Structure 1
């Protein structure tokens, strides 16, 4: 796995699409994600379908939120790329540490699993925001119209993580049997996205190392925008 992880990170580091202050090139983010996907995703029909899905669902232009990290045009793709990259940077020491645990024989993950989980963890946000404007006062007290993002009224959602899993499976149905990836995306929000019934067996999901890896990557990637 290490060789593939290093190759993926080399693609990102060579292009440098996102700067330390959170600024990014929307075009470079897209090119980097597609280059990394071309390199690591082995199921080529699903890869083609995934690219079509991203284009048709406004993945490249959607914000990552209305108020918090990545609340700008293209923020969703940029944040998703950061999550994938953070997860890849942590993947090797994380896997080596997990190999020492009593659960090591029950779970494994690949560089492809890490990349897909990071890129797809917030698929539910693609195309779910609309732009509106409101009157605000500027520094001099003059009224002006300010554009902001708002969740569309007709959005239907099965839950943050579960909706993202469902959308991923639209383009990559071969992942239906990959519970490692499905659980990582479904539970990437931790306890904050659980119903009371789901919380009863949550500890079982934490045995999956990719669940913890994507949670960690999501939290650290958000720091680029100071949350």
Structure 2
């Protein structure tokens, strides 16, 4: 099963909220490059299909994290399968249609050579996590916890005010869990 097939399978199995079908239709349409886009220009997932691959990696990491005995019993983190799928699979939907293929000159063995790379070109510069929340809520409602999780999934590596991140982590534990999963996928699975 390729990335697109796996994503669609999980999405259809786990997400049943009103409007979720329309959101999936959009992601599968010609108006979206979700399944072909990279996850970044030169860091994690900087290749075709990197965005969907990253989304699936975050989903796997998040599901593994919340299954830990300590997380369940000591931290009382118990989330629905639907919430886990929504926040993990859609946390970076803000990256849809933002990467354009281009070339740049790089010295290879002392010779300048044109190599492919991605340029970032955002036509809706609304932030990162907040843009994902904005796009998703155009199709379906999010719980407050889901919205905070997506908004602050970058954790302390983002540009947000540290007090706001701390507040989100303390009051909406899914926010912390998603941030951990995103960092694990980014820094360990997708080096």
TM exceeding 0.5: yes
Deviations 1:162-201 (A, max 9, x none): 11111111222x32xx0110000000111333444xx444
Aligned with 2:127 (options 159, 172, 183): 159
Mind listing any 5+ residue stretches in structure 1 that lack a counterpart?
1-14, 16-27
Deviations 1:131-169 (A, max 9, x none): 111222323x333211111111x5332221111111111
Q: Give secondary structure in 2 for the equivalent of 1:98.
A: coil
Aligned with 1:68 (options 19, 43, 51): 43
**What residue in structure 1 maps to residue 116 of structure 2?**
147
Matches of 1:216 and 1:117, distance apart in 2 = 13
- Deviating more after overlay: 181-190 vs 141-150: 141-150
* Contact 1:181/1:210 (<8 A) preserved: yes
Matches of 2:41 and 2:113, distance apart in 1 = 20
Matches of 2:164 and 2:185, distance apart in 1 = 27
Q: Give secondary structure in 2 for the equivalent of 1:39.
A: helix
**What residue in structure 2 maps to residue 41 of structure 1?**
15
Aligned with 1:98 (options 57, 72, 75): 75
Matches of 2:106 and 2:8, distance apart in 1 = 39
Q: How does 1:101-116 map to 2 (within 5 A)?
A: 109-116=79-86
Flag the structure with higher helix content.
1
**What residue in structure 1 maps to residue 24 of structure 2?**
51
TM-aligned CA distance change 1:224 to 1:202, over 3 Å? closer
Mind listing any 5+ residue stretches in structure 2 that lack a counterpart?
none
Matches of 2:74 and 2:163, distance apart in 1 = 27
Q: Over aligned residue pairs, what C-alpha RMSD do you find?
A: 1.8
Q: Give secondary structure in 2 for the equivalent of 1:137.
A: strand
Quick check: which has more Rg, 1 or 2? 1
| TM-score, with structure 2 as normaliser | 0.88
Q: How does 1:1-227 map to 2 (within 5 A)?
A: 15=1, 28-43=2-17, 45-55=18-28, 56-93=31-68, 94-99=71-76, 109-139=79-109, 141-152=110-121, 155-172=123-140, 174-175=141-142, 178-196=143-161, 199-207=162-170, 208-222=172-186, 223-226=188-191
* Contact 1:84/1:116 (<8 A) preserved: no
